[in-house]
Structure 1
């Protein structure tokens, strides 16, 4: 259980912060940037949820919880020491990505195939989901960059890759099952 009785600690006033294993790193470190971008995605998703109802709101709620799991995973390096940790770290699981894939497949079954690229827009929810998609892609790029230099749970990278697809398909659902998609017209303004 998390208990926060005090919000500020002053321990980061010099520009460093603690990772989940207690190690102190610069706030601009790639690991902090990766999980900070996941946190930004979660906040962006909170804005999208203002426009969501029903089943999609429930799915977005589950994704928000997953994103906290993902942040917890990314803030805890040294995966090879997981077994000896006092508190086993929370790691992303393949089942979380599998759930996204099932949801993508179910949503996509309702849609006509695309014959053009989709511009971000349409309904308020679709527009916010497109923003979530682009922030998700940035979080994925930062996490992949981190994984090229340090150990990262491969399930974390896979989850982010699939999640951006989820946001794209969900944005089409939010646009009246794709009927209100804003389509790109190549060279339309030449």
Structure 2
């Protein structure tokens, strides 16, 4: 059980922070950056949840579960492989990836096939979900970069999870926009000075 009696410790005032197990790293370290991007993704999903209208509340339990899973993923990234045995380390699982896939398929089944790329936007909550998707893509890039560093490790299932999460957030944004329709990209449509978006 996590217990936080004190919010500030002054331990990070010199630009370092502690990983799980006590190892100190600079705050611009690749591992710290990766779980920081996961935290930002989580916060963006929280904004989307706060904006959910009543007719889209079916998304809320899924998004709440994902927020909890992102805390697990952040804890996993904050634990260097050498510091946590595989059995004791908090980590996302293949079952969680499969659940995201099932939810993607269910939402996508209610949508018309795409004929172009989608512009981020539409309903306010859809715009928030698009922003969360873009941040999750940054988190994925940070995790891939971390995994490529000598002496660092990122579990393959963690990479699968964050990759599938961005797909989930994309489809969820389309699902929210299902009543008004997607705003589609029109390649080259505004190159002429007489062109106006429609």
Normalising by the smaller structure, the TM-score range is over 0.9
**Structure 2: distance between partners of 1:83 and 1:189:** 53
The superposition leaves residues 129-188 of structure 1 with CA deviations (integer Å, 9 ceiling, x where unpaired) of: 1001100000000001001111111111110000000011010000026x5211111111
Distance verdict in 2 for CA 1:83–1:40, change over 3 Å: closer
The aligned residue for residue 186 of structure 2 is 185
The aligned residue for residue 159 of structure 1 is 161
The superposition leaves residues 31-80 of structure 1 with CA deviations (integer Å, 9 ceiling, x where unpaired) of: 00000010011111111111224220111101100100000000001258
**Structure 2: distance between partners of 1:63 and 1:70:** 10
**TM-score (normalised: structure 2):** 0.90
**TM-score (normalised: structure 1):** 0.94
Which structure 2 segments of 5+ residues have no match?
192-198
**Structure 2: distance between partners of 1:56 and 1:125:** 11
| 1:54 lines up with 2:47 in the alignment | no
The aligned residue for residue 41 of structure 1 is 41
Equivalenced residue count is 186
**Structure 2: distance between partners of 1:115 and 1:83:** 44
Which structure 1 segments of 5+ residues have no match?
none
The aligned residue for residue 173 of structure 1 is 175
SS of 1:189's partner is coil
**Structure 1: distance between partners of 2:109 and 2:136:** 23
**Structure 1: distance between partners of 2:82 and 2:116:** 42
**Structure 2: distance between partners of 1:81 and 1:47:** 32
The aligned residue for residue 196 of structure 2 is none
**Structure 1: distance between partners of 2:118 and 2:131:** 13
The aligned residue for residue 31 of structure 1 is 31
| 1:71 lines up with 2:71 in the alignment | no
SS of 1:122's partner is coil
SS of 1:59's partner is helix
**Structure 1: distance between partners of 2:89 and 2:26:** 21
**Structure 2: distance between partners of 1:79 and 1:123:** 45
The aligned residue for residue 134 of structure 2 is 134
